[in-house]
A and B are shown apart, each in its own frame.
Chain A
Amino acid sequence: MRKTVAIIGAGLLTATATACGGGTQAAGGDKTLTLAESVTATPWDLAKASMGPEAQYYQPVFDTLIRLDSKGEPTPNLATSWSYDKAQTTLTLKLRTGVKFTDGTALDADAVRQSLLHTKSGTGSAAGEIQDITGVDVVDAHTVAIKLSHPTASLLSALGQVSGMIAGPKSLENPKVPVGSGPYQLDTSATTAGQTYTYTRNPDYWNAKAFPYDKIVVKYLADPTARTNALLSGQLDGATLNLNRVATVKGRGLNVVTYQPGDIEGLYIWDRAGKKVPALGKLKVRQALNHAFDRQAIVKSAKTGLGTPTTQLFAPGEDGNDAGLDDTYSYDPAKARKLLAEAGYPDGFSVTIPDLSAMFPQEQAALTQSLKDIGIKVKLDNLPGDQVFSSMLSGKYAMSYFKLGAPTVWDKVQLQLTKKSTWNPFKYDDPKADDLIERIGKATGAKRSALFKQLNTYVVEQAWNAPWNVIANAYATAKDVKVTPQPGTQYPPIYNYAPAAK
């Protein structure tokens, strides 16, 4: 017995001594970049890939045709130059020569054709971004022509993200190991599926100097508290941060950047025609809803002051944003009640909304209270987290708290403003908006921007939704790592990380 205790005691001492001597390993000290992801990976078939945060799993191994710079503008990458035809329905790309996939296969026009068409054939959101592609022609060994069903302004942006990643032609269908031409390759010996993915340098990469780290480790850490603790204890070099932890993490000397990927948060009115809740079919009622929210107070309390109050669909910096529109609906509960009375609802009306308190407690509380304050009788419907999206999309709720974003303004429009849009569950159709959207699809340059602005103004005036604010994200990095956030993306791409002076 005494011997056993002695052995256990010795073990404890050794472990603690090791711990005290070595400390937690400095995650960025050995030119390794260790990042945390809040979602699991869906490796490695690009046809099943998503555009969201999980892009960081793909970025080390798959290079994109186009590189989006820190302002979101397209710059050369695998494609060295590109041009549209006059009709804007054919995009011709010149490809970089001498590039090889990690299995030795040459990256040529045919490989690009196969990869793009394979991604397009899938069911992931990366596939959804390039559905307008009708074909990819091999012009010569290093030139491809992408054919579109109609002008698609978001194509270049999509080709700079997961949709434009190119996988090796021999590994397109359900690959066990990713075969790309990116700056890194997967180190299977240091990878545990679903948990930790380790990437080491691809020795043949053409642009190694753009990637300062020798090794990249991406860990799945779902819990925000665990992510913050890992950051603070030096186990991570970068992770997203809950807004309420920003001050703590900054106080510990870590770098925190806040940025606005363009997501708009607020009350989304799905039943604009009043099919389920007739009151919502009236413009004055929807305008009353817009006057019900104290946007400044919501940003201050629920978003710890981070975020920009707004009443419009497009975020600052996006095409079509008009700062003047943000004054359209001031916080004025008395005016809201007056508008409700004018619309024939002096005592308000009843509406059932989903109770999203489990995910968004402060936002849900702000929504419910603000609606009650102008006399609307709110019935909260409790539902499990995994049924939130499907219930909303099935048209169960006439309105709800929500937030939506997309990589480009055009994507935002397609996502929610057309009759066919996924996030138009009641299939609301407005001929004037349809006409504007059709014209935007064909327009370019300043004309296009002006049309986006017209559409934005129309949607705000018609009070399609009652937005509160442009969401701010916070991303923290270790003291010796700096990162540049990128417009339209929730997580910065891996090429935006670099060592910083401590």
Chain B
Amino acid sequence: MLVFLFRRIAAGAVLVVVVATATFLLLNLTGTDVARNVLGETASRSAVTAKSHELGLDQPLVERYWHWVEQAAQGNLGSSWFTGDSVNQSLMDTLPVTLSVVLTGLLIAAVLSVALGAAAALRGGWVDRAVQFAAVLGTAVPSFLIALVLVVTLAVQLGWLPATGYVALGTSATDWFRSIILPAVSLAVAATAATAMQVRGAMIDVLRADFVRTLRSRGLSTRSVVFKHALRNAAPPALTVIALQFIGLISGAVVVEKVFGLPGIGTLANSAAVRGDAPVLLGTVVVTVGIVVAVNLLLDIAYGWLNPKVRVS
């Protein structure tokens, strides 16, 4: 198990390095005049040259890359070229926002998808058809559209919830919940749709299994069969899908954060990409890839724990 773990961690670390290097090269080979962008269109040429020197942009590419790697290896992701803010601090400020939305969205998706998937499998008939239709609709409608509809109706028209902004959990739990519930629901719709269909399929398979028939023949109630045995056996494929949805939700957060004006990692990456703020963009890429690697690692460990055959592959 330890060798298996070590291999997975090493592979994850290599992935982070490869992605970071590729991002660094992409950002530095675009020919963008960063110093001009930092100073604005009205700055003089001499000011732009001075800024270029200040940012170290007149250094050779390899030297700049090595400097970044050295700093990053010590946990220092540098500072924004535009604001001078520490990238580490910016990530610490923005990551809780994104994780709040994504994890809440994931929780909503998990609860709803299990309920809907199980109901569809158990009831069949019109309930099944309704869940399947809703799942197709939920997958087809983009999250930003759901976000726009939610913000216009519930925030702008009815005034029940805030249209934009984020309140930290430490400041007020209620306000935190109110600030993230609409974005979380926007993200949860597609994830719920995808996972509910997995739960439905797995439940139908399990309910048809011999052991369920045996349990029923021994006189166990439907509730007991469903909750104690069928759902537990149908859970692994659903858990896999949910874990993968987590990664999808992080990328979906970029758009949803924009609609709700949330200062999350998506907004940070977006504004850094538009301006060409390489240190910030590199920092967000490294952290996001790190999260993806960590989630995959946890999934691998779970698989390895469930199925020893996976550990040797």
Binding site for B on A (CB under 8 A): 1, 5, 8, 11, 14-16, 18-20, 23-24, 40-43, 45, 48, 50-52, 123-125, 127-128, 131, 174, 192-196, 219-223, 225-227, 229-230, 232-235, 384-387, 389-390, 393-394, 406, 415, 422-423
Contact = CB atoms under 8 A, between A and B. Distances in A.
Contacts of B84: 42-43, 45, 48, 174
A140 to B, nearest CB: 33
Nearest to B152: A229
Contacts of A52: 40
Contact of B163 (A1, A48, A195, A235): A235
A397 B16 CA distance: 39
Contacts of A389: 33, 36-37, 41
Given A229-B152, A229-B156, A233-B163, A220 B263 contact: yes
Contacts of A40: 82-83, 271
B165 interface: yes
Interface stretch (B42-50, B56-64, B207-215, B283-291): B42-50
Contacts, number: 153
B89 A20 contact: no
Interface residues of B, number: 54
B39 A123 contact: yes
Interface in B78-99: 82-85, 89-90, 93
A127 B47 contact: yes
Nearest 8 A-B pairs (CB), nearest first?
A390-B33, A226-B261, A233-B163, A229-B163, A386-B276, A195-B263, A230-B164, A19-B160
22 contacts: A11-B177, A42-B84, A43-B84, A50-B40, A125-B39, A193-B83, A194-B263, A222-B258, A222-B267, A222-B271, A223-B259, A226-B164, A232-B163, A233-B155, A235-B162, A384-B32, A386-B37, A386-B274, A393-B41, A394-B33, A406-B42, A423-B42
B82 A221 contact: no
Nearest to A192: B93
A476 to B, nearest CB: 14
A123 B93 contact: no
B181 A15 contact: yes
Contacts of A192: 93, 263
Given A221-B261, A230-B165, A23 B45 contact: no
B260 interface: yes
A128 B42 contact: yes
Nearest to B275: A386
Given A40-B83, A423-B41, A226 B259 contact: yes
B155 A229 contact: yes
A475 to B, nearest CB: 18
A219 B41 contact: no
B89 A193 contact: yes
Given A18-B178, A222-B267, A229-B151, A385 B160 contact: no
A387 B271 CA distance: 15
Nearest to A131: B44
A227 B83 contact: no
A14 B39 CA distance: 48
Contacts of A394: 33
Nearest to A221: B261
A229 B163 CA distance: 6
Contact of A128 (B43, B54, B155): B43
Contacts of B155: 24, 229, 233
B263 A43 contact: no
B111 interface: yes
B271 A234 contact: no
Contacts of A194: 83, 85, 90, 93, 263, 268
Contacts of B261: 219, 221, 223, 226-227, 229-230
A11 B54 CA distance: 52
Contacts of A233: 155-156, 159, 162-164
B39 A124 contact: yes
A52 B41 CA distance: 11
A223 B274 CA distance: 13
Contacts of A51: 42
A387 B32 contact: yes
**Max count, chain B CB within 10 A of own CB: residue among A11, A219, A233:** A233
Nearest to A40: B83
Contacts of B229: none
Interface in B7-54: 30-33, 36-37, 39-45, 47, 50-51, 54
Nearest to A52: B40
B83 A41 contact: yes
A24 to B, nearest CB: 5
Contact of A193 (B44, B50, B90, B177): B90
Contact of A387 (B30, B111, B161): B30
Nearest to A222: B271
Given A41-B83, A128-B44, A229-B155, A195 B93 contact: yes
Contacts of B85: 193-194
A235 B271 CA distance: 22
A218 B107 CA distance: 33
B116 to A, nearest CB: 14
B174 interface: yes
Given A194-B83, A385-B274, A422 B41 contact: yes
Contacts of B40: 50, 52, 125
A193 B43 contact: no
B65 interface: no
A55 to B, nearest CB: 13
A233 B164 CA distance: 9
B227 interface: yes
**Max count, chain A CB within 10 A of own CB: residue among B51, B174, B275:** B174
